[in-house]
Chain A
Amino acid sequence: MDYFVELFFSGLTRGSIYALIALGYTMVYGIIGLINFAHGEIYMIGAFTALIVSTVLSIFGFPLPAIIILTALAAAIWASAYGYTVEKLAYRPLRNASRLSPLISAIGMSIFLQNYVLLAQTPDFLPFPALIPDFDFMEPYAGFIGSSDLVILVTTTVIMILLTLLIKFTRTGKAMRATAQDRKMAMLVGINVDHVISITFILGSALAAIGGMLIASHIGQINFYIGFIAGIKAFTAAVLGGIGSIPGAVLGSFILGLTESFATGYVSSDYEDVFAFSLLVLILIFRPSGLLGKATIEKV
């Protein structure tokens, strides 16, 4: 039983890491129907920014809480600037092109940003400081779940709730939903669609940056390639949960994380990906739009 609980928490940790990244994927897809492959790279850039900022701040002797807040802010702002720019340069000119063109453009941006960081920073792994300290009250549970795991889990839940509230109850959220439903109609009723899409990218990028900071702090190392690998898994999770749906992304991430964890624990870690992707295939056979995805009816 203990072992089950241990594996359950391992799965939750993995799941919440995937969820932090998957939320950005699903938001962008929900609004403009684009799989933003560069999202993983924005996450990576957020982590790099966090590394630089937190190192500088700790040299100046800032207290830890101040470092965490300022680093999160700086990473979020910097990554948002990247997200905004990527959208403006690579996706906006293709807004009315076929669906395939922005997808290719997104893959291009992903490769470009990876290599840009490789050249501008380093091809090596860099140590990332543990920004989240080991809480004393967590000590009895250290065998099950670490402090940084808990912080990631809580952050993911809070962000999911805030995003849902934002989309359900605010003016911006309403504009987002309108844009998602019918972009032309939204324009006709006076919504600045470009503006809404920019906000979506900025929000998604900020989330990715905070995710990058927390996850890098949890793992303790970063390099230019982390975004790609994490991005693939997060994307899988978003598809599993129903891409475009905010709770779906979180649900999908947890299911993916738990599947991998139990597959490792009870079968073999050699097969964790086999189980994860078999599950994805099964779910997509029975629910093609994912667990919480809305079934789209083709209007003829």
Chain B
Amino acid sequence: MNLSVKITSFCAAALLALGLCTSAMAADTIKIGVAGAHSGDLASYGLPTVKAAELVAADINAAGGINGKKVELLVEDDVCKPEVATNTATKLVSEGVNVVIGHICSGATKAALPIYRDAHVIVMSPSATNPALTQSGDYPNFYRTIASDDAQARTEVNFAINKLGVKKIAVIHDKGDYGKGLAEFAKKFIDDSGKAKVVLFEGITPGAVDYSAIVQKIRRSGADAVIFGGYHPEASKIVTQMRKKRMKTIFISDDGVKDDTFIKVAGKYAEGVYATGPADVTANPVTREYREKYKKAYGDEPGAFFDNAVAAALALTNAIAKAGSTDPAAIAKVLHTEDVATPFGMIHFDKHGDATGVGFTMYQVRDGKYVQVQ
């Protein structure tokens, strides 16, 4: 609990009792730090976030600010370098920043986070995807509006356990970096959930002429569902052989399989197969609104992580407004519990700080087409 919070709560109490303090609060501003790569070779990753924060802040200030306070942006460059990011963070903290949007790169974010944590500043990155940033539990003050590198596996596992209610899952992969990495995350999530069991975890040889042995093994394992990490040539062979052996086991895979070639090749056997893929947000009114505002203001298309940055700015400002103060604990509570409309739809943050519904979503093959089912 720092001094400014005490003053704020005092003022809030006084406001209720006497109707005073208004002039003192109007002079006060909500300081939002925007940190990331704003120069150097990775500037193109960081600058759209600054623009997004400016657009959101301008909207809020035009509408009278948050709870009567104007939003002030403190933009600081970290050049995407961890050693610079610590200085950036120290500077922002010493300037009394309330929340921070950033940083952009995972390495820089990781370096800066302990400084913010010790100062009780909430940080929300639009682009840092390293899974450990949220999942290690080291940085309870950290949130993000982008899917972490393991998000696909998480989407698959959550869908299998919570939506489909399966209890026994066979995790199969193609031994490649992409497939095996995904499968390992999936296995970890299933084990951690405690609601389902991994009954089989195996790698197959890509390009083999026949997968009936592994298919028989899946049947013997008694799995209700298969989560496959890999690409569509193997997925279509496995699905085809499972269905030919009259197995109705649910098949869930990744964006390596969410490819029309899979449906063409597996044909009727592709029906009912689930695959994750990036959610299509272009139809979302919030996405459109901010993309158009950007175009109007800057004349070209918004760059990398723009939608994510808009989501972060909206989520943070909404949380401050709903919390009625800049107390980190109050903001955190709102972030975790209340949905906010963003370019990715209504989102809130899970207990690790990852935004729900951002990044990957589940599709199913229905009548020869991938249809979004979430």
Residues of A that sit less than 8 Å from B by CB: 3, 6-7, 9-11, 13-14, 17-18, 124-127, 134, 142-143, 146, 149, 215, 218-221, 223, 225-226, 229-230, 233, 260-262, 264-265, 268-270, 272-273
Contact = CB atoms under 8 A, between A and B. Distances in A.
A13 B266 CA distance: 20
B214 A264 contact: yes
B260 to A, nearest CB: 11
B292 to A, nearest CB: 37
B209 A221 contact: no
B244 A127 contact: no
Interface in B224-269: 232-233, 236-237, 240-241, 244-246, 261, 264-267
A13 B208 CA distance: 12
A127 B213 contact: no
Contacts of A260: 213
A13 B212 contact: yes
B369 interface: no
A265 B217 contact: yes
A192 to B, nearest CB: 37
B217 A127 contact: no
Interface of B: 175, 202-205, 207-210, 212-217, 219-220, 232-233, 236-237, 240-241, 244-246, 261, 264-267
Quick one: which of B203, B210, B215, B236 has the most chain A CB within 10 A? B210
Contacts of B261: 124-125
B237 A219 contact: yes
A220 B202 contact: no
Contact of B213 (A7, A146, A218, A226): A7
A10 B213 contact: yes
A220 B213 contact: no
Nearest to B239: A220
19 contacts: A11-B213, A125-B261, A125-B265, A127-B266, A127-B267, A146-B245, A219-B210, A220-B267, A221-B237, A221-B265, A223-B233, A225-B207, A226-B207, A233-B209, A261-B212, A262-B213, A269-B214, A270-B203, A272-B205
Contacts of B219: 6, 143
A260 B209 CA distance: 12
The 6 closest A-B pairs by CB, nearest first: A10-B212, A264-B213, A261-B213, A10-B213, A229-B207, A6-B216
Given A3-B216, A269-B203, A270-B175, A17 B210 contact: yes
Contacts of B213: 7, 10-11, 14, 260-262, 264-265, 269, 272
B267 A143 contact: no
Contact of A7 (B216, B237, B245): B216
Contacts of A233: 209
A268 B244 contact: no
Nearest to B262: A125
Quick one: which of A7, A264, A270 has the most chain B CB within 10 A? A264
